[in-house]
Copies of this chain bind each other. A is one copy, B any other.
């Protein structure tokens, strides 16, 4: 390792030494994000935002394929609307920002900055919906929301974050259930196929569900440090809100009925997951499909002969289907550039120098395996495309193996605590379904039920906590 390389690496605290510091070092030094003058609010810098744009365009296409349309509802919600659904207001009122003045005038009613938009959207749906012929309503919005958080970390928990929120209405219970699970499945597929992150899917316990939901479904991912990250949720809201907001329509028999309701969302939190699943002590490792730059070309001895011509030729060839950049900054050495792009997690680097041109080859460096190889310039685009797919698959497999290694089946609380202290991860255990046991485990260990997974296993016959009969296997973990 040369001096320059060392310098770069030393800027990032090794994750084994201090994982939270490693995370902070990575997000700041790779220019993903910065702290803002407002406590708990982050600035998403261009490199971080470009990742979000890739997530957005992937999901937005899926939403549209499945018949959803985008729209936009007001940022501010009157207090009286927030108060309409009892569980909802209890869950959200303590963490909203209140607007009390417009210009110099005090408002007659306080407005909260939306923490989520069920209430304002339902107030509109109740105005719009007339007949079963109008159903389903399949709407989504991309926006920011504000939740006043006491302790924050960029991407993972901030007082403002970017997200999408889908809000749908359906004629029947079954149709709404189907929608809830369809959207969860789209999230899962996006995590796997775009972010190379394996997720466990399942249902939240009542204690952990969305305020106002009948059932919340979740995708849960496991981070390097063995903590879980709730990465997306889809809520079956039943008729809780549609009754509270008097959303009624005339059904097929001509009677007034309340529709069934879902909502679902993912946020910029996913970027935090991306970092903590794939990153290493050199910095980011970005899966190719979501990487803002998939390939960087670094010319070697750029001043010599036809190097820049060849670089330009390859660049033009690749960029028809690949997000490629040329780093031709004159003031930086190739070694410096290598290190910077490695830290920024660009999946592939191409080096081209005079000798490579002579030999009709280029040098390719893979960020995921840190391997260098020489490949022919012939069919270079196909080679690169194959490599990018290979990197995606390699990262996914590695993440899956990591998760499997850190997933434990446990049948007693002592073992449970030992694992959490020594080798944290997902713990599969049986639960009787009693909230008291859930509470007790949380108090004693800091771990929560992440989900009741769709894929069940029988680990024992008794509840981990109370020894009562238990037919339900759940995933526990400490979580972000």
Contact = CB atoms under 8 A, between A and B. Distances in A.
Interface of A: 34, 36-38, 41-46, 48-50, 52-53, 69-78, 81, 93-104, 111, 113, 120, 123-124, 127-128, 133, 139, 143-144, 146, 148, 159-160, 162, 331
Given A94-B104, A103-B94, A148-B103, A160 B46 contact: no
Nearest to A133: B331
Contacts of A41: 74-76
Question: Per DSSP, are chain A's interface residues mostly helix, strand or loop, or mixed?
Answer: mixed
B102 A37 contact: no
B97 A70 contact: no
Contacts of A42: 74
Contacts of A43: 71-74, 124
Contacts of A50: 69-70
Nearest to A141: B49
5 contacts: A34-B124, A49-B69, A74-B160, A98-B101, A113-B113
A38 B162 contact: no
A74 B158 CA distance: 11
A113 B113 CA distance: 9
Contacts of A78: 37-38
A73 to B, nearest CB: 5
A93 B105 CA distance: 12
Contact of A120 (B37, B53, B111): B37
A102 B331 CA distance: 47
Pick the most buried of A103, A128, A146: most chain B CB atoms within 10 A of its CB: A103
Contacts of A100: 98-101
Contacts of A159: 102
Nearest to A94: B103
B81 A37 contact: yes
B102 A99 contact: no
A128 B31 CA distance: 10
Given A76-B97, A97-B101, A124 B36 contact: yes
A252 to B, nearest CB: 13
A418 to B, nearest CB: 37
B76 A160 contact: yes
Given A38-B77, A102-B159, 20 more contacts: A34-B128, A36-B73, A36-B124, A38-B78, A43-B72, A43-B74, A46-B69, A48-B71, A49-B69, A49-B70, A52-B72, A93-B103, A94-B103, A94-B104, A96-B103, A98-B99, A98-B101, A99-B99, A113-B113, A143-B144
